[in-house]
Amino acid sequence: MKKTVIAVIGCGRIANNAHFPAFAQMDDLIEIKYACDLIPEKAQAMKDKYPAVQNVITDYHVALDDPEVEAVYVLTPNYAHYTITMDALKAGKHVFCEKPITVNYALSCEMAKQADESGKILNIGVCNRFHKSVEMLEQLNREGKFGNIYHVYCSFRSFRSIPGLGGPFTIKEQSGGGVLIDWGIHFFDLILYILGGARLQTLTCDAHSCLAKNMKDYHYTSMWAEETSDVENGVNDVEEFITGYIRTDKAGISFNGAWAQNINKNEMFIDFLGDKGGARLTYGKKFEFYDGETLVTEAPEYDIPDMYLRESRAFIESTRSGEKNRSNIDSILESAKLLDALYQSADLGKEVTI
Ligand X SMILES: NC(=O)c1ccc[n+]([C@@H]2O[C@H](COP(=O)([O-])OP(=O)(O)OC[C@H]3O[C@@H](n4cnc5c(N)ncnc54)[C@H](O)[C@@H]3O)[C@@H](O)[C@H]2O)c1
Distance of closest approach, residue 120 Cβ to ligand X, in angstroms: 20
Binding site for ligand X (CB under 6 A): 9-15, 36-39, 42, 60, 75-78, 80, 98-99, 125, 127, 228
Interstrand relation of 241-248 and 71-74 (parallel, antiparallel or unpaired)? unpaired
Give the containing element (helix H, strand E) for 137. helix 132-142
Distance of closest approach, residue 81 Cβ to ligand X, in angstroms: 6
Nearest CA to 342 among 188, 125, 210? 188
Distance of closest approach, residue 113 Cβ to ligand X, in angstroms: 21
Residues contacting residue 123 through CB under 8 Å, at least 6 positions apart:
95, 96, 97, 311, 314, 315, 318, 325, 327, 328, 329
Distance of closest approach, residue 93 Cβ to ligand X, in angstroms: 15
DSSP type of residue 262? S
**Nearest residue (CB) to ligand X, 60 versus 187:** 60
Interstrand relation of 149-157 and 252-258 (parallel, antiparallel or unpaired)? parallel
Distance of closest approach, residue 15 Cβ to ligand X, in angstroms: 6
Distance of closest approach, residue 10 Cβ to ligand X, in angstroms: 3
Distance of closest approach, residue 152 Cβ to ligand X, in angstroms: 20
Distance of closest approach, residue 78 Cβ to ligand X, in angstroms: 5
Task: Please tell me the distance from the alpha carbon of residue 43 to that of residue 149, in angstroms, as a whole number.
Answer: 46
**Nearest residue (CB) to ligand X, 181 versus 273:** 181
Of the chain, the end-to-end C-alpha distance in Å amounts to 46
Nearest CA to 62 among 78, 46, 84, 79? 84
Q: Which residue type, as a one-letter code, is found at position 159? A: F
Task: Note if the bond before 100 is cis, omega within 30 degrees.
Answer: yes
Residues contacting residue 25 through CB under 8 Å, at least 6 positions apart:
309
Q: Which residue is nearest to ligand X (CB)?
A: 12
Task: Please tell me the distance from the alpha carbon of residue 279 to that of residue 254, in angstroms, as a whole number.
Answer: 15
Task: Please tell me the distance from the alpha carbon of residue 236 to that of residue 177, in angstroms, as a whole number.
Answer: 10
**Nearest residue (CB) to ligand X, 78 versus 331:** 78
DSSP state string for 38-106 = SSHHHHHHHHHH-TT--EEES-HHHHHT-TT--EEEE-S-HHHHHHHHHHHHHTT-EEEEPSSSSSSHH
Distance of closest approach, residue 46 Cβ to ligand X, in angstroms: 10
**Nearest residue (CB) to ligand X, 97 versus 354:** 97
* Category of 295 on φ-ψ map: left (φ > 0), alpha (ψ -120 to 50) or beta: beta
